[in-house]
Amino acid sequence: MQTVVRRLDRIYPWELDMYLASGWYRMGQGIYTCSVLWGELGPTPVIWTRLPLKDFTFDKRQRKLMRRNSRRFKVEVRRFVFHEEQERLFDLYRAFFDGYLAPSFKEQVNGPAEGNVFDSLEVAIYDGDELVAFSLFDEGMNSTTSISGIYHPAYARYSLGYWTMLLEMAYSLEKKKGYYYPGYVVPGIPKFDYKLRIGKNIEGFLPAESRWIPYSRFPHELLEPNIIIKLLSLLVEELRSRRICARLFPKLGLTFGGARGLLIRSREFMSLYFDSPWLLIASLPAASEGEWGKLVVVSYDLKGSCFHLGWQSLPPELANPDNWSSYRSVKLPGFADQDMQSDFSGNEVFSCNTLDEVLDRVLILAHES
């Protein structure tokens, strides 16, 4: 599972609690979950986080920040509605932000949808009459979840973005909520680490076991992408020891031109058999120089605990995957739809329960090349 999105016509507070407790999060006027973030480093595991609020108290540093800013600024917590002050501040923040943001705050939060199916609140921070920071958070029956925080770049030294999270937490404590959900973190990418500073007892969600674990002892090796990388890397080593050119490749990096820009033209087929952040790609050259060989694709299905293997014809110009760029599309002029098989046929897809079975199947294909 990489990303699953569900569109919503309405959502009850208890339903939001249920989704959040299962590692889901708001996206526009829907709800989604994912296991990887696609970026410059390829697919990277994400960990959904939450802070249990039972017996929680703000630490000394947090209390100091809240006291200092409370003396300097005016705070309002109110039902959320879109307004022009938000858009003016969002324009300033967007120009300062290092990354992509939508052209407007409304589009950033809602996408193309109108209205709001969530029970949402706004924390608004004023310097006099000027809005200098605000945040959006949603309320369930026993939980709250932080959605977005925007602040004026000129006020960065006041940590207003972090402060709005603390104010959301203070609201949650006042309303006797059980959990506060700040979103996901990405191990190895520091820009998400501020979420881990909200409380020492913060937890991470482990999809493989459908349970929350204290982040301080979170088993990163059990995250879906890490399990897949470990298993497919073992297979790469076995194939290379037999002089078969193989490597791991991020799924989104595999496009070969064609009408849909996919390695395999059928999206349905790829979702069914190769819905994996990482794939093993092996090249089996033809026996005669200049002839087409075979491109072998292997994925691991964590839910089904099995490997999937398929193959298609490969032109000699792409015989060595080691020469393909790691995170960019591989395109070859003339390698178009008419040169490709329309799909794998049924007898060209194999499901294997063990690494040895996959290895044997690849060796058979290599012998047939």
Are residues 174 and 289 located together in one domain of the fold?
Answer: no
Q: Note the pLDDT of residue 343.
A: 41
Q: Note the pLDDT of residue 281.
A: 83
pTM for the predicted model, two decimal places: 0.79
* Residue 338 pLDDT > 60: no
CA atoms of 115 and 29, how far apart (whole Å): 8
In the chain, the number of structural domains is: 2
Are residues 292 and 358 located together in one domain of the fold?
Answer: yes
Helix, strand, or coil (residue 323) = helix
**Average pLDDT across the chain, whole number:** 83
Are residues 175 and 230 located together in one domain of the fold?
Answer: no
**Residue-by-residue DSSP string for 198-241:** G-TT-EEEETTTTEEEEGGG--GGGSHHHHHHHHHHHHHHHHHH
* Tokens standing for residue 144: 């709250």
Between 132 and 253, the higher pLDDT residue = 132
- Which residues have CB under 8 Å from 240's CB, separation 6+? 246
Q: Note the pLDDT of residue 339.
A: 38
Q: Note the pLDDT of residue 142.
A: 98
pLDDT digits (tens, 9 = 90+) for 234-253: 999 999 999 888 888 776 54
CA atoms of 108 and 98, how far apart (whole Å): 15
Are residues 260 and 276 located together in one domain of the fold?
Answer: yes
Q: Note the pLDDT of residue 329.
A: 42
Q: Note the pLDDT of residue 365.
A: 84
Q: Note the pLDDT of residue 39.
A: 65
Q: Note the pLDDT of residue 255.
A: 44
* Tokens standing for residue 341: 């098989």
Q: Note the pLDDT of residue 266.
A: 43
Please report where in the chains the tokens 């006027």 appear, as a residue. 29
Average pLDDT (110-131) is 93
Between 291 and 72, the higher pLDDT residue = 72
Strongest mean pLDDT among 34-48, 265-279, 298-312: 298-312
| Span of 4-13, 255-264, 268-277 with lowest mean pLDDT | 255-264
What CATH number has the domain bearing residue 79?
3.40.630
- Give the residue numbers spanning the domain of 190: 3-222
Are residues 215 and 341 located together in one domain of the fold?
Answer: no
CA atoms of 130 and 74, how far apart (whole Å): 10
Are residues 279 and 322 located together in one domain of the fold?
Answer: yes
pLDDT digits (tens, 9 = 90+) for 190-216: 889 999 999 999 999 998 889 999 999
CA atoms of 75 and 73, how far apart (whole Å): 7
**Residue-by-residue DSSP string for 114-154:** -S--S-EEEEEEEETTEEEEEEEEEE-SSEEEEEEEEE-GG
Q: Note the pLDDT of residue 2.
A: 62
Within 264-309, residue ranges assigned H as helices are: 267-273
CA atoms of 327 and 251, how far apart (whole Å): 9
Q: Cα 296 vs. chain centroid, distance in angstroms? A: 27
113 close to 9: Cβ distance less than 8 angstroms: no
CA atoms of 145 and 139, how far apart (whole Å): 7
pLDDT digits (tens, 9 = 90+) for 51-91: 999 999 999 999 999 999 999 999 999 999 999 999 999 99
Are residues 103 and 84 located together in one domain of the fold?
Answer: yes
Confidence of residue 348 (pLDDT cuts 50, 70, 90): low
Which of 178, 199, 222 terminates a domain? The answer is: 222
Are residues 297 and 287 located together in one domain of the fold?
Answer: yes
Average pLDDT (257-272) is 41
Read off the amino acid at residue 329: S
Average pLDDT (35-50) is 80
Q: Note the pLDDT of residue 323.
A: 61
Are residues 327 and 340 located together in one domain of the fold?
Answer: yes
182 close to 49: Cβ distance less than 8 angstroms: yes
Average pLDDT (31-37) is 86
Q: Note the pLDDT of residue 245.
A: 86
Between 219 and 289, the higher pLDDT residue = 219
Between 98 and 191, the higher pLDDT residue = 191
* Residue 363 pLDDT > 70: yes
Which of 166, 190, 222 terminates a domain? The answer is: 222
Are residues 178 and 231 located together in one domain of the fold?
Answer: no
Are residues 212 and 241 located together in one domain of the fold?
Answer: no
Which of 157, 188, 222 terminates a domain? The answer is: 222
Are residues 213 and 230 located together in one domain of the fold?
Answer: no
